[in-house]
A and B are shown apart, each in its own frame.
Chain A
Amino acid sequence: MPHEPPRLSRRTAFKAMTGLVLGVYLKPGSSMAQSGAAQILRPDGSIAGFAPNAFVRIGSDDMVTVLVKHIEFGQGPFTGLATLVAEELDADWSRVRAEHAPADANLYKNLLFGMQGTGGSTAIANSYEQMRKAGAAARAMLVEAAAQSWRVPPTEITIERGILRHAKSNRQGRFGQFAEAAAKLPVPADPPLKDASKFRLIGREGAVKKLDVPAKTTGTAQFTIDIREPGMLTVVVAHPLRFGSKVASFDAAQARAVPGVVDVKQIPSGVAIYADSTWPALKAREALKVTWDERAAERRSSSQLIDEYRAMSRQKGTIAGQHGDVDAALAGAERVIEAEFVFPYLAHAPMEPLDGFLRWDGDKAAARLGSQLQTVDQQTIAGVLGLKPEQVSLETMLAGGSFGRRAQPTAHFAAELAGVAKAIGPNRPVKLIWTREDDLRGGYYRPLFVHRLRGAIRDGKIVAWVNTLVGQSFIKGTPFEPMVVKDGIDPVTVEGSRELPYEIPNFRCDVHTPPVGVPTLWWRSVGHTHTGYAVECFIDELLQATGQDPVAGRLALMGKAARAAGVLRAVAQLARWTGPGPFGDRARGVAVVESFDSFIAEIAEVSAGDGGGPKVHKVWCAVDCGVAVNPDVIRAQMEGGIGFGLGHALFAEVRLDEGRPVPGNFDTYRSLRIHEMPEIEVTILRSIEKPTGVGEPGVPPIAPAVANALARLGHNRPRQLPIVRGTV
């Protein structure tokens, strides 16, 4: 993706660094140079290091700190972006650390979004060149500083594991020794990047360990929920039971009587309870009596929505993609196979429910939360409090998972956080926490979808494919709509369905996006969560109907999908594929899905299980994500994506009963547990393509791979998810 290399004025660099580390502030570099660099000073005026640009700080203690513009919630950007910097810098990995960059859309925007934010598996993709340039600029400045000090040509200086060396004169030095001098040098506009053959960290097995792991193993990692500040109030909000309801009235007498409760206030999204600690707030919420105005509430049940969607799927929707003449091909077919797939609402249920901290003094505000769209959250908080965005600082915290939940185009959580602060007035720092019930019943679900598919077969070949989708768009009606929706189509509803990797001569994909009063949101792998299942189950069904092998049959249709075919071949080799079986009580299913420009194929070996649903014994996975920056992070994301996808396909559903979400906690929103986790083997294809994402793409293939294996065990491919319904 083309982008400008970081070219920062001293002013912006200064702004970027302000407040990042207590007791450290920056002084712009030498007055002469057009320098982007700055010195980092201690309060006593001594020099603590230098900041060649907005992304890198090098301390006089040799520590390299990488400011990461993407939120770390387990998908690995702390390690990934730091790897890119350290590679060009030839830093010693044991002296590299990462921290979140502050909210500043100018400096820290996602180059694919135009604002600061994380999503669409873009962290490495948009940062690959930017962060390498940032590291290369720092390197060039350190080398130049050493060259001037040693009076040798900079081209004769090498760096290895954080040590600058001039072999001829047998001199060497550490980064910290040259930090002060380097800060006075001009920042090179376009520093050269290493040739890939010289990489020591990128793509090298075992070259880096994840930077956030030790603190997450000892319980010392700080999440938003861990924030404790003097005078802080802990806040919970009573939310309505049905979406679209408002507070009609409330009686807080009993709630206020709970010792520790400080105040109770109505806010736009409900009734907020302020307490000196968590338990009194939770108890008071139980004691609070709220009457809801439900006149505008959504009251339909899931079953009713499914019936309506099914009926709609029999009408042609807005065309999202077509070629050939499907109607003629269907009319002339020997056989037409039909399938309908129903997908439930799903919650993200990150282990850490939504939470945030806000300090507001009337003139400025400081927010700390696991923000995934910092720019939108910052603007929203400013709007609620009547401030300008630059009067709101936002510190991104480590977050206990997200799976899309913390990326809110409507910034509803940031708005509630600011609303809670505003309602009680300035100088009352608040920590707003959602419980698991708030989380699971709070909406913003993966939308409920119905897919209707028809496939035409003639002369043993698939000659037509029609796919009608029905489901909500969560982009329409948000600030993202003008950027994303084209010709009435929200592309994220049909991604994966509007274009297939398979060559089928007559094709149509159309979509209905009915308005429903249930807030929905992207959920790890977004449209591919349902399109991957529908497409990969249905192609498998058509191949089975025409007597073809699931792997060979797919490959025969993949003439123009070289990378998808590549991972399919690779996974077949890894699994020693000899066909789907059954082999004894087990069978194998395959699926291949491109998502977020990465290609993943998975084979699942499955048995029918002992009554609690299918047992997935082993999963083989092949991934092509271009240049593999951190192979072990990629493997981890495949493992996690498979477990996440499998758990939801097997067990998860947020069922609505007359508009009310039924599951409220992990007793009723069933999640995958360790004994249900399959063994996993991952192969990463070697590639020189630009790196693409891995956070989401592991998810889509697993559910159809399992369904396709079940089909070979004499069960139908499940037409409605979850596979295990009505159980806990």
Chain B
Amino acid sequence: MTAYNVKVNGRSENVDVLPDTPLLWVLRDNLGLTGTKFGCGIAMCGACTVFLDGKPLRSCSFPVSAVGNREVTTIEGLSGREAAAIQRAWIARDVPQCGYCQSGQVMSAVALLKEVKRPTDRDIDLAMNGNLCRCATYVRIRAAIKDAARALGA
């Protein structure tokens, strides 16, 4: 076991775990941040998406030992106008069904809007196609991203 200090959602957290422990399990098991979900463990489904220094990251396949001083943001720590717009649009469109993938979807969508103010369908495809939704809520995800972009006045 090794001691690590990680910055998560603006807090400094000390954990004592195996060095190869994926960030996902540190967040969920050690820090109780269970909004970030496990879906595959091999970075193929996107349910575990968090931000590392503001960029989306599949936390299931990223060891805690590699985080270093970088800032981790989870769905619980999401803030800012893009996040507010995305979450409002998600609720207005009743996007989620089972909901399990939606933390990851929201994270990826917020990251997209931070990069691209008025995303095209192609931008949405590229930013979101790493996030699986077995309920196939994709039609509403796409519509909600566009709603959020409009609401931000882009």
Q: Count of B residues near A, CB < 8 Å?
A: 56
B25, CB-defined interface residue at 8 Å? yes
Option from B39, B44, B99, B137 in Cβ contact (under 8 Å) with A640 = B137
CB of B133 within 8 A of chain A? yes
Q: Is the CB of B99 within 8 A of A221?
A: yes
- With A279-B18, A674-B142 known as contacts, the answer to whether A642 contacts B99 (CB < 8 A) is no
| Residue A3 CB within 8 A of the other chain | no
A647 lies within 8 A of chain B by Cβ: yes
Nearest-neighbor residue (CB-CB) of A641 within chain B: B136
- Known contacts: A401-B134, A666-B42, A674-B142. The answer to whether A226 contacts B34 by CB under 8 A is yes
Say how far B2's CB is from chain A's closest CB, in angstroms: 10
Shortest distance in angstroms between B86's beta carbon and chain A's nearest beta carbon? 9
Neighbouring B residues of A283 by C-beta, 8 Å: 18, 20
Report how far A223 CA is from B45 CA in the complex, Å. 18
Contact B29 A351 (CB under 8 A): no
- The answer to the question of B5 belonging to the interface, with a C-beta cut-off of 8 Å to chain A, is no
Given contacts A666-B45, A674-B131, contact A401 B136 (CB under 8 A): no
Tell me if A673 is interfacial: C-beta within 8 Å of chain B: yes
The number of chain A residues touching the other chain, given as a range, is 35 or more
Let me know if A234 is at the binding interface, CB within 8 A: yes
Closest residue of A by beta carbon distance from B64: A279
Q: Which residues of B contact A75 (CB under 8 A)?
A: 97
Contact of B141 among A218, A278, A402, A674 (CB under 8 A): A674
A279 CB to nearest B CB, Å: 5
Q: How far is the CA of A216 from the CA of B144 in the complex (A)?
A: 15
The listed residue (A349, A351, A632, A677) touching B98 by CB distance below 8 A is A351
Given known pairs A259-B18, A401-B98, the reply for A217 and B41 (CB within 8 Å) is: no
Least CB separation from A73: chain B residue: B98
Interface residues of B in 96-148 (CB under 8 A from A): 96-103, 106, 124-125, 128-129, 131-142
Interface: B28 (CB within 8 A): yes
B36 close to A (CB within 8 Å): yes
The verdict on A216 contacting B18 (CB below 8 Å), with A351-B134, A401-B134, A666-B42 known, is no
Could you tell me if B28 and A352 are in contact, using CB atoms closer than 8 angstroms?
Answer: no
Q: Which of A216, A259, A639 contacts B99 (CB 8 A)?
A: A216
Tell me if B103 and A279 are in contact (CB < 8 A): no
* Bitwise interface map of A from 399 to 410 toward B, beta carbon under 8 Å scored 1, else 0: 111110000000
Question: Are the C-beta atoms of B41 and A639 separated by less than 8 Å?
Answer: no
List of A residues within 8 angstroms of B131 by Cβ: 674
Is there contact, CB below 8 Å, between A351 and B101? Answer: yes
CB pair B137–A636 under 8 Å, yes or no, is yes
CB atoms of A679 and B136 under 8 A apart: no
Asked whether any CB of chain A lies closer than 8 Å to the CB of B17, the reply is yes
What residue of chain A has the Cβ atom nearest to residue B1's Cβ? A259
Alpha-carbon separation in the docked complex, A218 to B42 (Å): 24
**Which residue from A225, A351, A398, A402 sits with its C-beta under 8 Å from B132?**
A351
Rounded to whole angstroms, the CA-CA distance of A220 and B25 in the bound complex is 17
Closest to B101 in A: A351
Contact of B136 among A73, A219, A349, A647 (CB under 8 A): A647
Identify A665's interface contact among B22, B40, B134, B140, CB under 8 A: B40
Q: How far is the CB of A39 from chain B (nearest CB, A)?
A: 34
Instruction: State A677–B139 Cα separation when bound (angstroms).
Output: 7
A723 to B93, CA, bound (A): 32
A362 to B148, CA, bound (A): 53
- Which residues of B pack against A, CB within 8 Å? 1, 17-18, 20-22, 25, 28-30, 32, 34-42, 44-45, 47, 74-76, 87, 90-91, 94-103, 106, 124-125, 128-129, 131-142
Q: A350-B134, A353-B38 are in contact. List 17 more A-B contacts (CB 8 A).
A: A209-B91, A216-B96, A216-B102, A219-B74, A228-B34, A259-B18, A278-B28, A279-B25, A351-B101, A399-B98, A435-B41, A436-B39, A639-B136, A646-B136, A665-B41, A671-B134, A675-B125
A residues bordering B, Cβ < 8 Å? 73-76, 209-210, 212-223, 225-226, 228, 234, 258-260, 277-280, 282-283, 349-353, 398-403, 433, 435-436, 632-633, 636, 639-644, 646-647, 665-667, 671-675, 677, 679-680
13 A-B contacts (beta carbon < 8 Å): A213-B90, A217-B91, A217-B95, A222-B34, A223-B37, A226-B28, A258-B18, A350-B100, A399-B98, A674-B129, A674-B141, A679-B139, A680-B139
A-B pairs with the 8 shortest C-beta distances?
A219-B35, A643-B136, A400-B100, A216-B99, A74-B97, A74-B98, A219-B75, A675-B125
